Amino acid sequence: MARFVDVRNMVRWAAGRGAEDIMSGMIAYLEEDFRRWESFDKTPRVASHTAFGVIELMPTSTDETYGFKYVNGHPSNPARGYQTVTAFGVLADVHNGYPTFLAEMTVLTALRTAATSAMVAKRLARTDSRTLALIGCGTQAEFQALAFRAALGIESVRVWDTDPAAMEKLASNLGPLGFDVVATSSAAECVADADVITTCTADKAYATILTADLVRPGVHINAIGGDCPGKTELDSAILALGDVFVEYTPQTRIEGEIQQMPADYPVTEFWEVLTGRAPGRVSEEQITIFDSVGFAVEDFAALRFVRDAVDGTDLYEEIDLVAAPEDPKDLFGLIRAAAPARV
Amino acid sequence: MARFVDVRNMVRWAAGRGAEDIMSGMIAYLEEDFRRWESFDKTPRVASHTAFGVIELMPTSTDETYGFKYVNGHPSNPARGYQTVTAFGVLADVHNGYPTFLAEMTVLTALRTAATSAMVAKRLARTDSRTLALIGCGTQAEFQALAFRAALGIESVRVWDTDPAAMEKLASNLGPLGFDVVATSSAAECVADADVITTCTADKAYATILTADLVRPGVHINAIGGDCPGKTELDSAILALGDVFVEYTPQTRIEGEIQQMPADYPVTEFWEVLTGRAPGRVSEEQITIFDSVGFAVEDFAALRFVRDAVDGTDLYEEIDLVAAPEDPKDLFGLIRAAAPARV
């Protein structure tokens, strides 16, 4: 039997333990997997693009455990009452190939994306960072704020979204949690005085959410909305202002902000910073840019974390996903045994 | 909610309706999808190879529906009490990217592989074919026999396997179903007088299950066991004796029997035969070879068939796989609403 954490149980878990505490714990799992980055079997995700959006499969594997995520991205979904991104994921045992764990990942992806942002910002943002600017107040926004508070102690959040209702939603979600939320009326106003800037917009287009003149020295930019071919958020001049850090270079060159740059544009993979093989932030004035597109290893870490966290609780069900005939060569015998009279 | 057909329900369905009748019905769905072959978004499967075996994701899509299968292949599994191949699959709605249908596919893959073999043999084997030789009596063998009876009326089956217990298992499964089963003591004895030869062995190696001197004029060879790099079944001289038909050329050149041949070795894709764009069998003496590796479109057709077949029955459950917040931009609100006191 495989274990299954459905939406109801994922929400129960997140609500009971708290998203902020979960993301703190998840960062430890993420760091563990980024530290053993070279031991993963890595491949760019497999995407199926249509006029409506994209559906992707994101596999990765160690010698012990295989994992993948199914995820869609449909920018026009919210206008029709659907979410932009939904997902689910699976872990399997490499030794026999059997799937062992299935989980909803719509909620979990929101948690892992923000936890990844915070893990990276812990190493790249200035240690005295006090204010987060959030451009884009969709699904990801609250999770970003909570993750940055968990990892960097940031409680002051400035927000901007072209949809005033989205800003109101964010303020009403974050206000009661102790955040100082300031709604602004432009990207320029939003990022003024910010130490960290998160861009998390959903438009599937070459967009310019942020221009170079708005970026002060010393800022850390966490660019997470540009994540597929033809979908970017930053003015390319911003990339030239600072140093660009990525998850997995071959995928980010296709999907990230650096798709705007030459194919040999210099970048640093974050696992190199984490393991001390490459420098992270080198000065107070440096502009650091995390060109995040989301990589399978992050989902792998998030799935491992949930699997371990729900062990011994009532937060999962067992499902009958793998046929188990008594004689492994006699699959047909399963059917024959169940047949009323004849097969 | 997504619909889920687990192992228990898949077996109930197969036992209640009968594997043979199911494969007859499935052939119609397979033919429908092979006829619209050009409308599918096709990509070679994404494989993760380890010392133990392989885990693969096999996606494909039309403008309306996306599907993928997770499948493993671990040749040493039966010796440890596990099955060589297990699988599950998903269908999703391309318009919003939401998964709609999840099914076990260990049993279903066995049905679809045999149904595909039979669909192809209907067009390529001699119409007077009366005897099937089965080399390899593992999981796939009974399904092959039933599919060939359904599609071509074959009731005489000659079998060979290095494991006598596997041959006994097959005889005891097929005998009561009205087949004339002859166990033999070598590949040569097995294929003597056979009109159709199915090779379905599981060894992950360059093997030679069948040599060219054993292949009579007019035979149709259904080679399904050679399906990944480094895993073949046929003497390469056999390929030169006849005409090779494949599912999807880019994948088969990597995984099929033709991995032994030059990269430009001539092959015909089966959909071209089905739609009349290419000839199939052109003479009674011609040797036809279906170099089958299994392609995502076949799983897509099989999943569609089960989805439609269980509609209106008690053969599926609904599972909570996609989070559905009231406001699609307010995923966090789902957690907040479920929180006991604070998030």
Nearest CB partner across the interface for B107, out of A43, A99, A331: A331
Q: How confident is the model at residue B204 (pLDDT cuts 50, 70, 90)?
A: low
Whether residue B134 is predicted with pLDDT greater than 50 in this model: the reply is yes
Report the pLDDT value the prediction gives residue B343, as an integer from 0 to 100: 43
CA of B314 vs chain A CAs: smallest distance (Å): 16
- Average of per-residue pLDDT across A206-210: 81
Among A207-211, A217-221, B49-53, B265-269, name the one with the lowest average pLDDT.
A207-211
Q: Does A312 touch chain B (CB under 8 A)?
A: no
Over residues A306-322, mean pLDDT = 97
At residue B36, the pLDDT reads 98
Percent of chain B with pLDDT over 70: 99
Res A175: pLDDT: 94
Distance from CA of B89 to the nearest CA of A (A): 10
Cβ pair A98:B12 closer than 8 A: no
Q: What is the pLDDT of residues B81-131, one digit of tens each?
A: 998 889 999 999 999 999 999 999 999 999 999 999 999 999 999 999 999
Most confident of A303-307, B77-81, B237-241: A303-307
User: Residue B48 pairs with which residues in a beta bridge?
Assistant: B55
Residue percentage of chain B with pLDDT more than 90: 85
Alpha-carbon distance A72 to B97, whole Å? 5
Q: Which of B11, B86, B173 minimises the CB distance to A97?
A: B86
> Is residue A293's pLDDT more than 80?
yes
For position A339, what pLDDT does the model report? 83
Domains detected in chain A: 2-107+297-327 (3.30.1780.10), 126-294 (3.40.50.720)
Interchain contact A256–B (C-beta under 8 A): no
B22: pLDDT confidence band, cut at 50, 70 and 90? Answer: very high
Write out pLDDT tens, residues A9-38.
Answer: 999 999 999 999 999 999 999 999 999 999
CA distance B187 to B160: 6
> Which of A223-227, B159-163, B175-179 shows the lowest mean pLDDT across its residues?
A223-227
User: pLDDT value at position A343?
Assistant: 43
| B1 CB within 8 Å of a chain A CB | no
Residues in A 71-90 with any Cβ partner in B closer than 8 A:
72-74, 77-78, 80-84, 86, 88, 90
State residue A204's pLDDT score: 64
- Does residue B146 surpass a pLDDT of 90? yes
Question: Within the 40-59 window of chain A, which residues sit less than 8 Å (CB to CB) from chain B?
Answer: 41, 43, 46, 48, 50, 52-55, 57, 59
Cβ separation A7–B95 shorter than 8 A:
no
Pairwise CB contact (< 8 Å): A72 & B97: yes
- Does the beta carbon of A1 lie under 8 angstroms from any beta carbon of chain B? no
Distance CA B125, CA B121 (A): 5
Q: How many CB pairs under 8 A join A and B?
A: 269
Looking at every residue in chain A, the average pLDDT score rounds to 94
A308 in catalytic set: no
- Can you tell me the mean pLDDT for A160-177? 95
Taking the C-alpha atoms of residue A294 and residue A58, their distance in angstroms, rounded to an integer, is: 10
Between positions 104 and 143 of B, the ones with CB within 8 A of A are 104, 106-107, 110, 137-139, 141-143
pLDDT, greater one: B109 or B232: B109
